[in-house]
Amino acid sequence: MGSRTADDHRTAMQQALDLAKKSPPKPSNFRVGAILVKLDGDRYPTSAGGYTLECPGNTHAEECCLLKLAEHHSTTEEGLEETMKSPHALYTTMEPCSKRLSGKLSCVERVLRQKSWIRQVYVGVQEPETFVAKNPGRQMLEESGIEVHHVPGFEQEILQVATAGHVSDRSS
C-alpha cells in the first residue's frame, strides 16, 4: 500500500462533502456524503460514493456506498465481504452512526461486516447529539481493528451542509 498525503485525504473528504450537498435537506436527518477508496496501488481510485437518501428508503451515505458497490459487483451488501479483495478506506463527512432510530442496521455495523476489506475510516466531524447521544461508533470501529482518523479543515462546512433543513437553534 502506498502512503497517502494530507492533500489526498483533503481531496477525498471534499469529494464526500460534494456528495453530501446532493442530499435533500430535512429536519429528520443529517446530510452526509461518503466514498470508498481503494488503498492499493499508486493511484487511489474511488470504488463507490453515496449520500444520505440517495438510494430508495431511509438510507444513509455509507449504506448507499455499499449498496451501489454491491450492485456494481452483482452481489448483495452482505456478499461484498466475499467479493472485495483489495483494502479500502471509507471517507465520510460525519462519523458513522452506531444506532438508527428507524431500526435499520447502523452504519458502524455495516462497516464492521466489511472489516476484512474496509481497513480505515476517515471522518470530517463527529456525529452531533441531535438524534442519538454519545455515538460510540469510533470506539466500536477501533476495537474491531479498523483505523479511524479525522480529516481536519472541513468541520464548519460539513456541519452547515449536514444540518440544512434543521430548526436553526438546534443546528450548532
92-119 per-position pLDDT tens digit: 999 999 888 777 899 999 999 999 999 9
Q: Does 169 score more than 60 pLDDT?
A: no
Domains of the chain and any CATH numbers: 6-163 (3.40.140.10)
Q: Which set of grid coordinates corresponds to residue 40? A: 492499493
pLDDT of 43: 66
> What pLDDT is stored for residue 165 in this prediction?
84
Answer yes or no: is pLDDT of 45 > 60.
yes
Residue 36, CA atoms < 13 Å, CB-side half-sphere: 24
Strand pairing category for 88-94 and 46-51? unpaired
Q: Residue 171: which pLDDT band, with cuts at 50, 70 and 90?
A: very low
Residues annotated as part of the active site: 62
Residue with cell 442530499: 23
Higher pLDDT, 41 or 19: 19
Mean pLDDT of 117-136: 83
Is the pLDDT reported for residue 172 higher than 80?
Answer: no
Q: What is the pLDDT of residue 119?
A: 96
Rounded to a whole number of angstroms, the CA Rg of the chain reads 15
Q: Mean pLDDT across the chain, nearest whole number?
A: 89
Contacts for 46 with CB less than 8 Å, ≥ 6 apart: 12, 15, 35, 36, 37, 38
The stretch 13-23 carries a mean pLDDT of: 97
Q: Which is it for strands 118-125 and 46-51: parallel, antiparallel or unpaired? A: unpaired
> By the 8 A CB rule, do 33 and 23 touch?
yes
Span of 27-31, 56-60, 98-102, 137-141 with lowest mean pLDDT:
98-102
